[in-house]
């Protein structure tokens, strides 16, 4: 997880800068700042599960781009000014192709959705400097999740950008089983924190949980095993039928021979 945020700016800043700025195509924007992706499994697992679940959900849409721990550059010609959201989603992207980084002025838009997963090294920046940057960029929804319970309560915060460019916290509900739910209008999904602080995504339109990478792999393997079992059963049935037909033919031949013997 990239824990370093450079070029911090107040919420009143505007990105990209003035329209008369000229993009220098010779500038090389690094795809990494050398920081580790995550401090622990408590960060890594919800990060990778959320990215993979969203990619599966939107795989058929070429205008939706999902990424995690990727550098987002928001000031033209500045390689020292970037943030790296743990998870982000862009709706209206110009193609769902692979990228090394996201350059806001070249892509023509900032992320619509950002999620940050709290850690000891990052949580203070997540609730202050990064929050201001995302608001200034026009990120419509900003979600923070604390997988440890050490940094903020409740473990989930969903904020939505209002018409004045300020984030407004959205309501959460808690079920009888202890599951905390909040609605993402951008994703049209419920973001849920299960007991044990497991982060999951739920589709209220279908009434189904979005599968994690492991669940998707398990389902694929189960489907493949079921197909193999069905093929084996079909082959066994066909073999049994052929054997039965052969036995019947042999019995008919024996009966014919018996009928031909003199009394």
Give the pLDDT score at 10. Answer: 36
Give the pLDDT score at 188. Answer: 97
What are the boundaries of each domain within the chain? 41-210, 212-263
Q: What is the pLDDT of residues 106-139, one digit of tens each?
A: 999 999 999 999 998 899 999 999 999 999 999 9
Give the pLDDT score at 257. Answer: 75
Give the pLDDT score at 251. Answer: 82
Give the pLDDT score at 192. Answer: 98
Ranges of the chain with pLDDT below 50: 1-14, 16
Q: Name the CATH topology of 41-210.
A: tt1808, chain A (3.90.1570)
Q: How would you write the chain as a 3-class SS string?
A: CCCCCECCCCCCCCCCCCCCCCCCCCCCCCCCCCCCCCCCHHHHHHHHHHHHHHHHHCCCCCCEEEECCCCEECCCCCCCCEECCCEEEEECCCCCCCCCCEEHHHHCCCCCEEEEECCCCCHHHHCCHHHHHHHHHCCCEEEEECCCCCCCCCCEEEEEECCCCCEEECCEEECCCCCEEEEECCCCEEEEEECCCEEEEEECCCCEECCCHHHHHHHHHHHHHHHHHHHHHHHHHHHHHHHHHHHHHHHHHHHHHHHHCCC
All residues at 6 or more sequence positions from 245 whose CB lies less than 8 Å from its CB, including other chains:
none
Give the pLDDT score at 238. Answer: 83
Give the pLDDT score at 247. Answer: 82
Give the pLDDT score at 253. Answer: 78
Give the pLDDT score at 158. Answer: 98
Give the pLDDT score at 6. Answer: 36
């Amino acid at each position: 997880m990239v824990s370093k945020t450079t070029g911090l700016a107040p919420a009143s800043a505007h990105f990209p800068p003035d329209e008369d700025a000229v993009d220098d195509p010779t500038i090389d924007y690094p795809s990494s700042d050398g920081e580790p992706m995550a401090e622990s499994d408590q960060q890594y697992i919800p990060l990778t599960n959320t990215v993979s679940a969203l990619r599966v959900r939107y795989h058929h849409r070429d205008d939706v781009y999902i990424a995690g721990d990727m550098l987002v550059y928001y000031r033209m010609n500045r390689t020292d000014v970037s943030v790296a959201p743990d998870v982000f989603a862009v709706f209206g992207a110009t193609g769902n192709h692979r990228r090394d980084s996201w350059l806001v002025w070249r892509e023509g838009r900032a992320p619509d959705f950002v999620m940050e997963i709290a850690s000891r090294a990052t949580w203070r920046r997540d609730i202050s400097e990064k929050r201001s940057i995302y608001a200034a960029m026009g990120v419509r929804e900003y979600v923070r999740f604390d997988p440890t319970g050490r940094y903020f309560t409740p473990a989930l915060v969903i904020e939505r950008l209002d018409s004045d460019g300020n984030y407004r916290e959205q309501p959460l509900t808690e079920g009888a089983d202890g599951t905390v739910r909040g609605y993402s209008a951008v994703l049209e999904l419920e973001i849920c924190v299960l007991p044990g602080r497991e982060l999951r995504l739920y589709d209220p339109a279908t009434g189904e949980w979005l599968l994690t990478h492991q669940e998707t792999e398990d389902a694929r393997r189960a489907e493949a095993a079921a197909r193999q079992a069905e093929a084996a059963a079909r082959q066994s049935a066909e073999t049994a039928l052929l054997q039965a037909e052969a036995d019947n033919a042999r019995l008919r031949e024996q009966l014919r021979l018996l009928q031909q013997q003199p009394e």
